[in-house]
Amino acid sequence: MDVSISPSRVAGRVRAPPSKSYTHRAILAAGYAERAAVTDPLVSADTRATMRAVEAFGGSVERTAGDDRLEISGFAGRPAVPGDVVDCANSGTTTRLVTACGALADGLCVFTGDESLRSRPQGPLLDAIEQLGGRAESTRGNGQAPLVVGGHVGGGSVSIPGDVSSQYITAILMAGAVTDEGIDIELETELKSAPYVDITLEVLADFGIDAERTDAGFAVPGGQSYDPPGGEYAVPGDFSSMSYLLAAGAVAAADGEQVIVEGARPSAQGDSAIVDVLESMGATVDWDRDAGEIAVPRASLSGTTVDVGDTPDLLPTIAALGAIADGDTVIENCEHVRYKETDRVSAMAEELSKLGASVTEAQDRLTVHGGETTLTGARVDGRADHRIVMSLAIAGLVADGETVIEGGEHVDVSFPDFFDAIESLGVDVEREA
């Protein structure tokens, strides 16, 4: 689907979608339980993949008509061997979380996904499962899906790099809680995207699971049961998705108006750093933490320097802001952002360049030269990546002329109502199948 964005002024209230990161973890945590409800979940292409996996392991997921509640009957820490190959579609989070879960099964589980997912690295997680005595193989021998996993892992100690994906740590911690022995994790390298493990620890605690940081890495005792208080878990709003809405206010709010984003209650989400990023660029950001609301008027933005080692999902948003700001915006420590749904470093460099941005790309750094940039509407490729699509839409708000984004339907991965949301704020949006 092509989506056309014309220069627009925005104002009004809009609610951020629920957090994708929290929803994934909550659905699987409820699957590990005997029964639990997940309220205010994000129901999207990615989280539906996690629901399917829970059902493949022997659980069931019942959705209410409005998708505001999931009633999950779990597999009580004992995943069954799926009756078929589990399709994780485009969800890397699903793949990694359920791969560790599959290692608990008595037989063998097979996980695969679409072409993009089958290109993403899983080798360190497979190696960790083998260290625990399980079977874990890539069918092509390249550390990528399709994956074959099983062996009824009982716990133990693993050594794993922390600079490829924090999701490996999350997957092992969630599975380790229901093993007999528990699991001790030693990090071989510095942990990238550390706030995502903080999210995991928060969700585990809310489901009654003890897990902790150690001098070496992390540890989770075995023999535990997932059981949230009152049998329910509520998902907070998503700051990764919120970043586009806040950016829209900072670059395109009407004179004397502002964008107010609801659902912004504090949590362990590292991507709440978008507030600090916007302020460092000169925006005025008013965050009422008690009410869970953030208000942003339009501002004259200046370039900044941002380390995205812990916040990789913010790179596309920051790059788009940099193309609008004066001066250089330098995004550092970003090599791991190349291993997402697409190589987001190159994708943003190339697509912003089509809009007239001056960009310098290095392996671990992206510099957007806002002072040398005049954005002009053009046809751009969303790269089948929800975050690329939404970030290019923000650039399109201020580009001279119409910006046509190919692959607009991919926002369904994390923010299915994105175009409706920005349209409600006053953005001129046209969709063409």
Asked if residue 340 belongs to a known ligand binding site, the reply is: yes
Asked if residue 344 belongs to a known ligand binding site, the reply is: yes
The values of phi and psi at residue 348, to 5°, are -70, -35
As a whole number of angstroms, the distance between CA 198 and CA 114 comes to 29
As a whole number of angstroms, the distance between CA 127 and CA 150 comes to 13
Residue 147: DSSP 8-state: E
Residue 370: DSSP 8-state: G
Asked if residue 383 belongs to a known ligand binding site, the reply is: no
Asked if residue 343 belongs to a known ligand binding site, the reply is: no
Asked if residue 144 belongs to a known ligand binding site, the reply is: no
Q: Is 313 a catalytic residue?
A: yes
Full DSSP string of 302-342: B--EEE-SS-GGGHHHHHHHHHHSBSEEEEES-GGGGGSSS
H/E stretch holding 56 reads: helix 45-56
Out of 238, 271, 313, 385, the active site residue is 313
As a whole number of angstroms, the distance between CA 286 and CA 331 comes to 24
With a CB cutoff of 8 Å and minimum separation 6, the contacts of 199 are 21, 22, 25, 267, 268, 269
Strand-pair partners of 109: 149
Contact between 402 and 5 under an 8 Å Cβ cutoff? The reply is: yes
Asked if residue 92 belongs to a known ligand binding site, the reply is: yes
Whether the upstream peptide bond of residue 195 has omega within 30° of 0, thus cis, is: no
Asked if residue 119 belongs to a known ligand binding site, the reply is: no
Q: Which amino acid is at 16?
A: A
Tell me what percent of the chain is helix, strand and coil, each rounded to the nearest 5.
35, 25, 40
Q: Which of 8, 5, 92, 88 is nearest to 344 (CA)?
A: 92
Asked if residue 58 belongs to a known ligand binding site, the reply is: no
**Edge-to-edge order in the sheet of strand 403-406:** 379-381, 403-406, 2-6, 428-432
- How far is the CA of 33 from the CAs of 18, 40, 156, in angstroms? 22, 19, 22
Half-sphere exposure at residue 205, Cβ-oriented, CA atoms within 13 angstroms: 10
As a whole number of angstroms, the distance between CA 35 and CA 329 comes to 47
As a whole number of angstroms, the distance between CA 285 and CA 282 comes to 9
Asked if residue 120 belongs to a known ligand binding site, the reply is: yes
**Edge-to-edge order in the sheet of strand 217-220:** 156-160, 183-187, 217-220, 212-213
Asked if residue 25 belongs to a known ligand binding site, the reply is: yes
Residue 238: DSSP 8-state: P
Asked if residue 91 belongs to a known ligand binding site, the reply is: no
Whether the upstream peptide bond of residue 17 has omega within 30° of 0, thus cis, is: no
The values of phi and psi at residue 288, to 5°, are -90, 95
Q: Annotated binding residues for 3-phosphoshikimate, as ranges?
A: 20-21, 25, 165-167, 193, 313, 340
Q: Annotated binding residues for phosphoenolpyruvate, as ranges?
A: 20, 92, 120, 167, 344, 387
Annotated catalytic sites, by residue? 313
Q: Annotated binding residues, as ranges?
A: 20-21, 25, 92, 120, 165-167, 193, 313, 340, 344, 387
